[in-house]
Structure 1
Amino acid sequence: MTLNQLRTFALVARLGSLHAAAAALGVSEPAVSAAIAALRQDLGDPLFVRSSGGISLTPGGRVLAEYAQDIVGLADRARREVGNAKNDAGRLRIAATAPFAEHAAGPLLDLFTARVPGAAVDVVAEAAEELASLLLERAYDIALGARPTAPGGGPTTVPGLESVPLLRYQRVFVVAPGDPLGRLSGPVAVDRLLGRPWFTGPAGILDSSEEGRWLARLGVVPEIIRLSSETDALAAVRAGEGTMLALGHIVQADVRSRTLLRVPVAGTPVPGLWWASTLDRYRTTTMTQTLQRFVGTADATAAMVARGGSRGLERRGSKFHVALWS
């Protein structure tokens, strides 16, 4: 039994056709048949029988298909990581959605690179709707922030990607102390806020986010003004220019000191969740998995909610780039 034979059988089992497997491998169909014949002889099992819909795996074939997928995946991962070991294995390319990059990336990655020897990271803020394709194309090793979604707003789970919860957050409406909205007692209908601009960071209010879905359920369309950062958006709110659906832990101290007032809008605070997303475990690296595990620790959570945002965030063309941690 060889790795090439197992790879061939895994493809036949997954694609349901010797012809399709041959095309995927770039070999002739007789070559695929020869590999399968060798496995059949070695294991003493026909592995599959032909049927009107293609092939049907025997019980032994189903068992082998599971092992073959695991073995081939591990072999590919070993090959990839050996190659990475020669070429800066500790460097991680990270895509982060803008709010996460601004408020949580710096403290989290400072702590991670301090704890993990040899780790270095490069972070770029990317649009949430592009995360899935960027990960699948291997442009980045991991995405932090919004959970990747399928193109066209499809199912939340994207085949080939694994996402784990990263940080729960809440968004609340805030205004300046002199704003008439600050004198309203709750619950306040969201319609009362539609006469004022809503300031946001560069990402706006994503349709795929919890706050975006909340607005969609209410059927309201506010006047949204996007600024270069959520910090700038909060500055506009403090100046009395409008309101903002701000991160609760970011404005907590301001609300306590009454330099900002929370508007008790019905249905708020709006809960949300940030995620750490990677390729599936057979196609990602050990360092990527180390970061994905680290972000779920209590120390990582404490760092992300601590006051003080990301350092080194700057605009590069149409994107934001976070300076290298090492």
Structure 2
Amino acid sequence: MSVGYRFCTCHREGTSINLNNLRVFATVAETGSLSEAAERLFLTQPAVTQQIKHLENHFAIQLLERTNRGVTLTDAGEVLRDYARQIVSLYDELESNLENLRASVSGHLTVGATSTIGGYAVPCSICIFKEKFPEAVLKLKVANLTQISNDLKEGQIDIAIIEGQDLSGPFIKWELATDRLVVIAPNRKPWAGRTSISIEELKIQPFIIREAGSGTRQVIEEALASIGIDLSQLNIVVELASVDSIKAAVEAGVGISIMSRLALRKELHTRTLLALELEGLSLEQKIYLAYNRERVQTRLGKAFINFLRSPNRGFC
């Protein structure tokens, strides 16, 4: 293990110690020599001396006595040696056990995701997970909500990450995040400089909609229905099955649409598209993790579920 790894920090009157300090001290105590300890730890002797000095400053007591033959421990050094050995040993044991656990999380896992999050968020999560568990092999399938639901029910995928709430079946579902939907328009006249659009204006503008079975379309239908508007009241000019095709159509001036902000990071950064708020209506959709309660999850599946649900949140 590299001595450059920082494990813990303890504070005392503006100074701090970490695992490196204790590892260096334990090695000096074992060898009785600053130079030998430096050679064993691949450090310079001044670096070892500095680490020991840091400990002595922290505890405000001398730990070593320098002699012509090397170094000997003071009474305080004898006490610290025993604790340092225990702490370093416990940490090495912890790291070894966790490394064994990481190595045991292997095999294949098929993850299904709906189009928006499958194309713009889940790949990032899988990448981070692979850094933690390099032996794992994950396959991502992207489709609309209806297809992902059917695949999960039939065992074609192990875990699903979806938006929307229409997921009937023997599933366990956990909320991961909340995503905002916005009206998107090309960044040119008459939209340039706009930040919002009214419901009445939305109804008359050429509108591009996702295909039936899409979770985003479901959210749009339910949100509009809550204020008494049916999709038939919109000026729908084309129905498209992918997020990228809708963005391309909007940029080309075919019409406006409603889309997740997750899918617009690049276009909002390059300012090729505008994100407009829909006045008087909040457009949000929940993002869920789901899996079949009737199927036993592998160790890899459980690790991925825990990763996505962790407080630090593996979901990008």
Q: TM-score, normalised by structure 2?
A: 0.55
> Given the alignment, which residue of 162, 170, 176 partners 2:180?
170
Other-structure match for 1:74: none
> Given the alignment, which residue of 123, 139, 143 partners 1:122?
139
Other-structure match for 2:259: 246
Compute the displacement of 1:193 (Å): 1.7
Other-structure match for 2:159: 142
Compute the displacement of 1:103 (Å): 1.2
Residue 176 of structure 2 contacts residue 289 of structure 2 at CA under 8 Å; is this kept in 1?
Answer: yes
Other-structure match for 2:113: 96
Residue identity opposite 1:96 in structure 2? A
Alignment pair present for 1:161 and 2:171: yes
Query: Could you report, residue by residue, the CA deviation over 1:263-308 in whole angstroms, capped at 9, with x for unpaired residues?
Result: 332145511111110122873222212111211343523xx2xxxx
Distance in 1 between the 2:269 and 2:214 partners?
Answer: 25
Compute the displacement of 1:95 (Å): 1.8
Measured at CA, do residues 137 and 264 of structure 1 come closer, stay the same or move farther in structure 2, by a change above 3 Å?
closer
Distance in 1 between the 2:205 and 2:187 partners?
Answer: 15
Other-structure match for 1:39: none
Distance in 2 between the 1:171 and 1:271 partners?
Answer: 6
Query: Could you report, residue by residue, the CA deviation over 1:84-141 in whole angstroms, capped at 9, with x for unpaired residues?
Result: xxxx962012221111221122211122122114211122223313444432332221
Residue 146 of structure 1 contacts residue 209 of structure 1 at CA under 8 Å; is this kept in 2?
Answer: no
Alignment pair present for 1:265 and 2:278: yes
Other-structure match for 2:246: 233
Query: Could you report, residue by residue, the CA deviation over 1:120-179 in whole angstroms, capped at 9, with x for unpaired residues?
Result: 11222233134444323322211111357455xxxxxx4x31111223211111211334
Residue 171 of structure 1 contacts residue 248 of structure 1 at CA under 8 Å; is this kept in 2?
Answer: yes
Other-structure match for 2:208: 199
5+ long unaligned stretches in structure 1: 1-87, 152-157, 305-326
Alignment pair present for 1:190 and 2:199: yes
Measured at CA, do residues 255 and 89 of structure 1 come closer, stay the same or move farther in structure 2, by a change above 3 Å?
closer
Q: What stretches of structure 1 move > 4 A for 4+ residues in a row?
A: 181-186, 200-205, 252-258
Query: Could you report, residue by residue, the CA deviation over 1:203-246 in whole angstroms, capped at 9, with x for unpaired residues?
Result: 67548843331022232313163335312321221222211212
Measured at CA, do residues 200 and 176 of structure 1 come closer, stay the same or move farther in structure 2, by a change above 3 Å?
same
Query: What does residue range 1-326 of structure 1 map to in structure 2 within 5 Å?
Result: 90-146=107-163, 149=166, 158=169, 160-182=170-192, 186=196, 188-200=197-209, 206=215, 209-218=218-227, 219-221=229-231, 222=234, 223=236, 225-251=238-264, 254-255=267-268, 258-280=271-293, 283-297=296-310, 298=312, 300-301=314-315, 304=316
Residue 243 of structure 2 contacts residue 263 of structure 2 at CA under 8 Å; is this kept in 1?
Answer: no
* Count of aligned pairs between the two proteins: 207
Measured at CA, do residues 196 and 287 of structure 1 come closer, stay the same or move farther in structure 2, by a change above 3 Å?
same
Higher relative contact order (CA 8 A, sep 6+): 1
Residue 95 of structure 1 contacts residue 124 of structure 1 at CA under 8 Å; is this kept in 2?
Answer: yes
5+ long unaligned stretches in structure 2: 1-104
Query: Could you report, residue by residue, the CA deviation over 1:179-216 in whole angstroms, capped at 9, with x for unpaired residues?
Result: 43556675x43231223333355567548843331022
